[in-house]
Each structure stands twice: as structure tokens, then as C-alpha cells.
Chains A and B, each alone.
Chain A
Amino acid sequence: MSLVIEQIAKRFDRFPALKGVSMEAPEGCFLALLGPSGSGKTTLLRILGGLEFADVGHIQFAGLDWLSLPARERRAGFVFQQYALFRHMTVAKNIAFGLSIRPRKTRPTRAEIARRVEELLALVQLDGLGKRYPSQLSGGQRQRVALARALAIEPRMLLLDEPFGALDAKVRKDLRHWLRSLHERLGLTTVFVTHDQDEALELADMVAVMNQGRIEQIAAPSELRANPASDFVAEFLGQNAAPGVVPLRTAATRQKSPTDSRGYATY
């Protein structure tokens, strides 16, 4: 049940945002889309979420022809860069939204919904803040509400668009670690867009380095550091290249990094 992306291309008017992107990621993978602005990573994420439509290409996930489903039916939890919380609803109502709009037949009871909201609030460590409004929360808290809201619908995959971009450094670091441990717990296939190499390399199981609408390289963080496939990748990861390592593809220079047996980073 892996995520298979084949030859996705998209233009905005004349601008080619994605020029034929293909990749495959195993189920439960934490995949980072890393690249500078304009590389197409957000466009790809939005296509996965059903918020944009590819011109050409095919996506397969959870055994479904992904692109044939409208956003409403995909159950792809989307966490926006600016949170997009419903400003007129309390935190609890925000989180409950996805459940409360279900048709009568499939809708859980009020008590059920309330219970789930409590569970999720505990999960994101915002117990007791259900009655607050988004404007009364800090940036980091809002982001966690956005995450809880996306998780409430029991999503098939989780999509995050530079979720920590608007937060200050310390909060970012804390949330990073927290997000990773959440992923360990839930095992959801997660796609995460960022322009910050540290973030991508620290958090992800696999990183797809993108540039100008194409994937330059997709591999585990350790592999990327050791064997950058192109000058762009090497330069972009510049700060993270192991000191003294010259980008060559020989096994002999493969950098040792703290990984578990599957080669996934475990910070």
C-alpha cells in the first residue's frame, strides 16, 4: 500500500511548476519534500491533498486511484502553513469539524465526538484548551490544533505544508521532536514540505530534494549526505554535508550517522 507517484506535471498559466515527477514511498513513511521556493514542493503537496489538479500523471495510494477522488473524499489530513483554523469556532469545534459534517448515517454521536476531541487534545498536549478561540492561542498551540483537527478524521495520509515556518526557532525545534515522536506512535504515511534542510534531514525517513519542478534525488537522509546525486543536492545540503566529505559515490566515504537498522534517523 505504498504511495506511488507517476509522471505528475502541472503548469500555472505559462509557469511549469512540476515537470514530470515520479517517486515511490512505502506505507507509514515520513517523507520530506525539500527544496527552495519555486521548486514545486508545495504544488505537489496540494495535488496530493486535492487542492490542486495535475495536468498529467497518476497517483496510487491505499489501493486507490488517488487523483480521481475529490479532496472531500480522500481523507488526506492537511495542515496549512498559516494553520487555516476556523477563526469563529472554538478549538474543540475546530477539531470536531471533520466529524460533525459527516452525513447522519456515518456521523458519530455528540458524546463520541466530544470524547475524540478530548483524546486528540491530550495527544497534542493541549488539554483543557478546548473552549479557547484560535486568536487566544500562541502560534505553536495553533499549529497543534491544526494537527489535531487533521487527525480527527482518521486520515489515510497526513500532509504538512511548512507547518513550522511561522514559528520562532525554539518552538520549531520542540515541535519538530514532538512531531517525530507522534509519527512513531501513529505510523501514518506523512508528507512534509520544508525549505529547511536541518528539519528535513532530522525528521524524515526519506527526503525528496526538489528543484525547479523536478526531483533531484530521493533517498534516506544518510544516503543524501553521503552520496548527493548532483551538484545542486550537494550545495543545497551544504551545511549538512559531513565535514571533509567530498560528494563522491563511493561506499568507502559513506558517513556513519545514528540510524537504526532500517536506516531511518532516530532523533
Chain B
Amino acid sequence: MATLVLPRVRSRSALPGFGFSLAFTLFYLSAIVLIPLAALIIRPWELGWNGFWAEILAPRVLHALKLSFGAAAVAAAINSVFGLIVAWVLVRYRFPFKRVVDALVDLPFALPTAVAGIALSALYASNGWIGAPLEKAGIKIAYTPYGVVVALVFIGLPFVVRTLQPVLTDLSRDSEEAAATLGATRFQTFRRVILPTLAPTLLTGTAMAFARAVGEYGSVIFIAGNLPMVSEITPLLIIIKLQEYDYAGAAAVGVVMLAVSFVFLLALNALQAWVSSRR
């Protein structure tokens, strides 16, 4: 006796629980993530198209955006250089307390941002351990955009190091040995053989550090100074608008940040797909 089949969205499986787990997953995802995000995207439209752009392009908003993105970019760049060094040293060398250093790299992941914020603020203030000597040398960190950069370096470091480490570990020495037999110095080998291989991963890690830094609030708010048009970061601006009951304005700025995050997420995924297709 024949049994007919209708086209299915998925092939039948011998394991149970698909319907139930998928339904729950979708429900929870919608309730917690999708619907709230929809609220964010819809809200600015009550300003109308022109109102939206007027909101975004207001000087104070523009400045905050420039500060958030700019500082994040500088911090990400610093992290890409030093993060590479840290990852290299952790993977390739041996030295005392290496495991401690390794574990410490995850500190920004685990430490609450507010704790990091006040610690950095105290450290770089005029009477802080690092702030005092720097001030004598004429460099002021706390309450300036430099403070923002320092905080964002703290936040972003683990992203670069942790994305590089597995790749560095798996890097086969073959190509380095080949370069050596062909007469290259270690530096040449690094620049022309190792670095190109690491480049996509380094880029991914840096992009992740950047994305995280753009939206960072807690670690920055204490050290930043928060003067409008000088050292005011975008998330703070959102909060201020909320306190003024300017929901639509806050949402508009939020949408811009979200849009950038999305573009980054997509670019990141595309980059990762491209990298794994080359392997």
C-alpha cells in the first residue's frame, strides 16, 4: 500500500520534540527580542521622515555619534595591534604566570561595566595612580575623550585576543618553515606569510571590539566627563532624551546605533563565511 507525501519544510526525523522546542524557541525569541526591537524601529516614524533626519543630524547628536564611533575606532585599532601581540605571546611563548595572564584577558567579559567604570575613573583621575604622573607630564585623561578611548580599550581587548588564539594555535608551522628554507628572516616571514593568514581573523576580532565599544555605557560614563558637544557619548544622549520624555528622539538615535550594529553583524557573518570557505 502506498502512502503519499506532501512537500515538507523539513524532512521528518526519528527524534521527538521538534515541534515543541521550535515553537517555544520562536515564542521566546519574539517576546523578548523581536517585538521590543520592532518597537524601537517603529517609534521614530512618528517624527516623520524629515523629523527623523532633523533629529539625527542635530549638532549635539552628531557630535555624540562622532565621539562614540571615533573613540571606538581608535580603541579598536589599538586593540588590534596589542591584542595581536598578546595573543602571539600567549600562544607561542612560555613564561611564568602565563596562565594568570591568560585568564586575566577575560576580565572585561566578566567584570561588571560599572565596576570597570569607577575603577578606570579613579585610576586616571588627577590624583589616581596613573592619572597623577600623566598629569605632571601634561596629559589629562579623565573627563576627556582620551578617557573614553582608554575605557574602550579595556572593553575591547578580549575580543581580539580570543578570536586570534584558536587560529594561532591551529596555524601549521609548515609555511613558516618553508619561508625559512627559502631564506626569509623571521620578520619577513611574519609580514608576508603569517600576517596575511591571520588578517581575516584579526579583522573579525577588531570589528567585534569596535561593535562592542560603540554601544558601551557603564565603563565609559564615569571617566568620560559627559559634557555635551565635548565628551558626551551616544548612549548617554539616549538616556537624557528619555528623561526629557523625548521617546521618539531617543528611539531615533537608538535606531542609528542598531543599524550600525546590524551592518556590522552582517559584514562579520559574511567575512566569517568567506574565511571558512577558503579553508
Footprint of B on A, CB under 8 Å? 7, 12, 50-58, 67, 70-71
Task: Please give the distance in Å from A85's CB to the nearest CB on chain B.
Answer: 18
Name 21 A/B residue pairs within 8 A (Cβ), A-sorted.
Answer: A7-B2, A12-B11, A50-B14, A51-B14, A52-B14, A53-B11, A53-B12, A54-B3, A55-B3, A55-B5, A56-B2, A56-B3, A56-B4, A56-B5, A57-B2, A57-B3, A58-B1, A58-B2, A67-B3, A70-B14, A71-B14
B1 contacts across to A, CB distance below 8 A: 58
B11 contacts across to A, CB distance below 8 A: 12, 53
Task: Please give the distance in Å from A55's CB to the nearest CB on chain B.
Answer: 5
B2 contacts across to A, CB distance below 8 A: 7, 56-58
Bound-state Cα–Cα, A50 to B12, Å:
11
Footprint of A on B, CB under 8 Å? 1-5, 11-12, 14
Q: What is the chain A residue whose CB lies nearest that of B11?
A: A12
| Interface-centre pick from B4, B11, B14 (highest chain A CB count, 10 A) | B14
Kindly list the 9 A-B residue pairs having the minimum CB-CB distance in the complex, ordered from nearest.
A51-B14, A53-B12, A55-B5, A56-B2, A71-B14, A58-B1, A50-B14, A56-B3, A57-B2
Task: Please give the distance in Å from A175's CB to the nearest CB on chain B.
Answer: 27
A58 contacts across to B, CB distance below 8 A: 1-2
Task: Please give the distance in Å from A47's CB to the nearest CB on chain B.
Answer: 10
A70 contacts across to B, CB distance below 8 A: 14
A57 contacts across to B, CB distance below 8 A: 2-3
A54 contacts across to B, CB distance below 8 A: 3
Task: Please give the distance in Å from A144's CB to the nearest CB on chain B.
Answer: 25
* Extra inter-chain contacts (6) besides given A54-B3, A57-B2, CB under 8 Å: A12-B11, A56-B2, A56-B3, A56-B5, A70-B14, A71-B14
Task: Please give the distance in Å from B57's CB to the nearest CB on chain A.
Answer: 50
Task: Please give the distance in Å from A68's CB to the nearest CB on chain B.
Answer: 9
B3 contacts across to A, CB distance below 8 A: 54-57, 67
Bound-state Cα–Cα, A131 to B248, Å:
66
Task: Please give the distance in Å from A187's CB to the nearest CB on chain B.
Answer: 27
Q: What is the chain B residue whose CB lies nearest that of A8?
A: B2
Bound-state Cα–Cα, A55 to B1, Å:
12
Q: What is the chain A residue whose CB lies nearest that of B2?
A: A56
Bound-state Cα–Cα, A55 to B8, Å:
11
Q: What is the chain B residue whose CB lies nearest that of A57?
A: B2
